[in-house]
Amino acid sequence: MKALIIAGGKGTRLGKLTQNIPKPLIKIQRKPLLEYQIELLYKYGLKDITILINNLGKKIINHFKNGDRWGVNITYYEEDYPLGTAGGIRKLEGTLTGDFLVVYGDLLINIDLDRFIKQHERNKRFRKMCVGTLMVHPNDHPYDSDLVEVREKGIISKFISKPHAENLVYQNLVNAAVCILSPEICRYIPPGRASDFGAEVFPAVVRSGKHFLFAYNTPEYIKDMGTPQRLRQVVSDVKNGKYATAALNLPKPAIFLDRDGVINEEVDQLHLLEDFKLIKNAAEAIREINLKGYYAIVISNQPMISKGFCSYDEVMEIHKKMETDLGKLGAKLDGIYFCPHHPEKGFPGENQRYKIRCRCRKPGTGLLRKAAKDLNIDLKNSYYIGDSTTDALTARKAKINFVGVRTGYACKDGKYDVIFEPGSIKSNIKSAVRYILRSAHLKE
């Protein structure tokens, strides 16, 4: 697969740093940003690379030349004038004979490209009119990011550019500026002028109804360094090792979280958006999980769908509100997994589609196992925070550590016969997270 790196931007937000060198040549720990990208492409066997250049592009050519030093073959396309993120690719249309990877040149990334490519191939088998798979990810500032909305099967249904409407409720899925595209995408790129993928080209694909774009949701390391503050952050992440250990080919522990009674206030049969309210300090606790390098993953039973109290889409709206409220406070969830099933019948208006016995309904471990497979989770060093004996039994079956909270059902529901370890019930999610982080530190 060919790789295209879009490296023609001026980097004006970096001020004096980009007066004499192009943004992709800014050094992070004595190595240019673009060099990190090329080394990653080489690692995954993508050795045919074209770099699209404009501003101070000759300096990129002088540094990398033909790429021999890095074991790759680099060619260049120098734009006569700035063509945005998409215009230059339209100029290369005749050279694109197969699907190609696109990476923006101001990103520091550490991602498992094998997983990404395989998912794109599955998407193409599922929908023959797939023209691209876009990497998306949750971040801790979705309120000022370009977002996407995704429906079932990962199909992108909407692009939401910043600035956002004041009361917008959204999925925390940020367009990560890494994608795999088919040459067919060129029919949506206007010829002979500058154009932008996120603001113009991708929305045109969605509106057409003729082709599909898929989302590949990953919590891996994808950060732009387009402002002084973000540049300082990526330098820090390289220094402290966060960057090096971020790809999904390396296992990482998670802190699994029940939803109702742990993250949000317990409401019997919660199914109305206006009834969803975060528990005090829940965002602070989840932000602490984010900072300490654990995945934060929700594992939740939502039987109101099968009982007919609400639809699948209405539960998704509640989850969007949860992500919105957390995002405003600088916290993110790396995954939300929920079971819509309920085996008991007899509810007025119940949804027969979901009236089944399944492996995903807690205390079954199906959802937890799926999350572990999706994200290569180190279960041995993971934890589960819950407010019920159902949650405790789920953790026991999965052989992971359980910490209870006194919010919600306070682990006093009595549904299952569970004996709790002394000191394993904490006052709320914040104290539970701090207990876990202290315990993990003592094990090191």
pLDDT digits (tens, 9 = 90+) for 38-95: 999 999 999 999 999 987 889 999 999 999 999 999 999 998 888 999 999 999 999 9
Considering the candidates 106, 260, 325, 387, report the single residue annotated as catalytic.
Answer: 260
Strands 295-301 and 212-217: unpaired
Note the pLDDT tens digit of each residue in 281-325. 999 999 999 999 899 999 999 999 999 999 999 999 999 999 999
pLDDT per residue of the chain (444 residues) written in tens, 0 to 9: 999 999 987 656 676 667 788 889 999 999 999 999 999 999 999 999 999 998 788 999 999 999 999 999 999 999 888 899 999 999 999 999 999 999 999 999 999 999 999 999 999 998 889 999 999 999 888 998 899 999 888 999 999 988 999 889 999 999 999 999 999 999 999 998 999 999 999 999 999 999 999 999 999 999 988 788 889 999 999 999 989 999 999 999 999 999 999 999 999 889 999 999 999 999 999 999 999 989 999 999 999 999 999 999 999 999 999 999 999 999 999 999 999 999 888 888 889 999 999 999 999 999 999 999 999 999 999 999 999 999 999 999 999 999 999 999 999 999 999 999 999 999 999 999 999 999 876 565
Task: Answer yes or no: 260 catalytic.
Answer: yes
Rounded CA gap, 197 and 185, in Å?
10
Rounded CA gap, 274 and 258, in Å?
20
Rounded CA gap, 314 and 316, in Å?
5
- Provide CB contacts within 8 A for 207, sequence distance 6+: none
Whether 46 and 113 have beta carbons less than 8 Å apart is answered as yes
Task: Answer yes or no: 258 catalytic.
Answer: yes
Note the pLDDT tens digit of each residue in 176-192. 999 999 999 999 999 98
In this prediction, residue 58 carries a pLDDT of 93
The residue behind tokens 């734009």 is 79
Rounded CA gap, 300 and 281, in Å?
20
Rounded CA gap, 376 and 252, in Å?
7
Which one, of 377, 277, 364, 363, lies nearest residue 334 by Cα? 377
Domains and CATH numbers, the chain: 2-240 (3.90.550.10), 254-443 (3.40.50.1000)
In this prediction, residue 10 carries a pLDDT of 67
Q: How far is CA 106 from CA 22, 114, 190, in A?
A: 10, 22, 24
Torsion of CA 377, 237, 170, 5, to 10 degrees: -100
In this prediction, residue 443 carries a pLDDT of 62
Strands 100-104 and 174-181: antiparallel
The residue behind tokens 């949506």 is 188
Beta bridge partners of 150: 156
In this prediction, residue 127 carries a pLDDT of 85
Considering the candidates 99, 112, 224, 258, report the single residue annotated as catalytic.
Answer: 258
Whether 287 and 294 have beta carbons less than 8 Å apart is answered as no
Rounded CA gap, 346 and 303, in Å?
13
In this prediction, residue 387 carries a pLDDT of 98
